Amino acid sequence: MKNALGVGRVVGSIGFTLVSGLWVQLASAQLTNTIIANRYHSQVTSYFCGAASMEMQLDSPTVLAANPGLAATLNTAVNANLVDGPTSAGLIPPSGSQTSIYSYVHGGAFPTRSAYGGVSVYNNPAFGLGTDGDALQVGMNAIDTTGIYNTQGFAPTLTGGDLASRTLVDALNAAQPVPATVSVENGAHWIDVHGVSTSGNLATGNYVINGFIVRDPWTGYAISQYNAGNAGPALAGGFGLGFNTYLRYGYDIIPGAALTQLPNGATAAVRLGAWFNYFSPSSAAAASPLFNSRKYIIETDPRGPTGPDTGDGGTENSLPAPPTDLSSELNASQADGDAISDLAANTLLDSEPGLEGGSFDSSDEMLMSDSSDPSGEGDWLVPYDGSGGTDDVTGALMIDADTGVIDEATWFDSSDPVSSVTLNEMDMMFEDQENGLLPDDNLPEPAALAILAPGLVLLAMRRRGAVRMAA
The tens digit of pLDDT for each residue in 379-420 reads 999 999 999 999 999 999 999 999 999 999 999 988 898 999
In single-letter form, the type of residue at position 83 comes to V
Higher pLDDT, 18 or 277: 277
* pLDDT confidence of residue 92: 39
| Three-class secondary structure of residue 291 per DSSP | helix
Tell me: cis bond preceding 444? Omega within 30 of 0 counts: yes
**Residues forming a β-bridge with 20:** none
* pLDDT > 50? residue 21: no
Average pLDDT, stretch 463-469?
A: 28
Q: What are the start-end ranges of the H helices in 6-113?
A: 49-58, 61-66, 70-74, 97-106
Instruction: Give the whole-angstrom CA distance, residue 136 versus residue 297.
Output: 11
| Three-class secondary structure of residue 290 per DSSP | helix
**SS3 helix, strand, coil % of the chain, rounded to 5?**
25, 25, 50
**Residues forming a β-bridge with 433:** none
Higher pLDDT, 349 or 139: 349
Distances (CA, A) of 363 to 324, 336, 384, 426: 27, 9, 11, 15
- What's the predicted TM-score (pTM) here? 0.85
Contact present, 335 and 401 (Cβ < 8 Å): yes
In single-letter form, the type of residue at position 216 comes to D
* pLDDT > 70? residue 81: no
* pLDDT confidence of residue 125: 59
Instruction: Give the whole-angstrom CA distance, residue 431 versus residue 425.
Output: 10
Average pLDDT, stretch 110-119?
A: 49
Contact present, 165 and 247 (Cβ < 8 Å): no
**Residues forming a β-bridge with 90:** none
| Listed ranges 111-120, 237-246, 432-441; the one with the highest mean pLDDT | 237-246
Query: Which residues have a Cβ under 8 Å from the Cβ of 341 and sit 6 or more positions away?
Result: none
b/e map of 267-299 (b: 16 or more CB within 10 Å)?
A: ebbbbbbbbbbbbbbbbbbebbebbeebbbbbb
Query: Which residues have a Cβ under 8 Å from the Cβ of 317 and sit 6 or more positions away?
Result: 159, 162, 163, 166, 263, 264, 311
Instruction: Give the whole-angstrom CA distance, residue 369 versus residue 435.
Output: 8
Average pLDDT, stretch 264-277?
A: 86
Shortest CA distance to 222 belongs to which of 239, 203, 205, 206?
Answer: 239
Count of structural domains, the chain: 1
Strands 456-457 and 259-261: parallel
Mean pLDDT rounded to a whole number for the chain: 79
Higher pLDDT, 348 or 117: 348
DSSP 8-state code for residue 114 = G
Query: What is the domain range of residue 275?
Result: 1-471
Higher pLDDT, 354 or 88: 354
Instruction: Give the whole-angstrom CA distance, residue 130 versus residue 189.
Output: 9
Average pLDDT, stretch 334-363?
A: 95
Average pLDDT, stretch 220-233?
A: 90
**Residues forming a β-bridge with 34:** 9, 196
Torsion 301-305-306-312 (CA) sign: negative
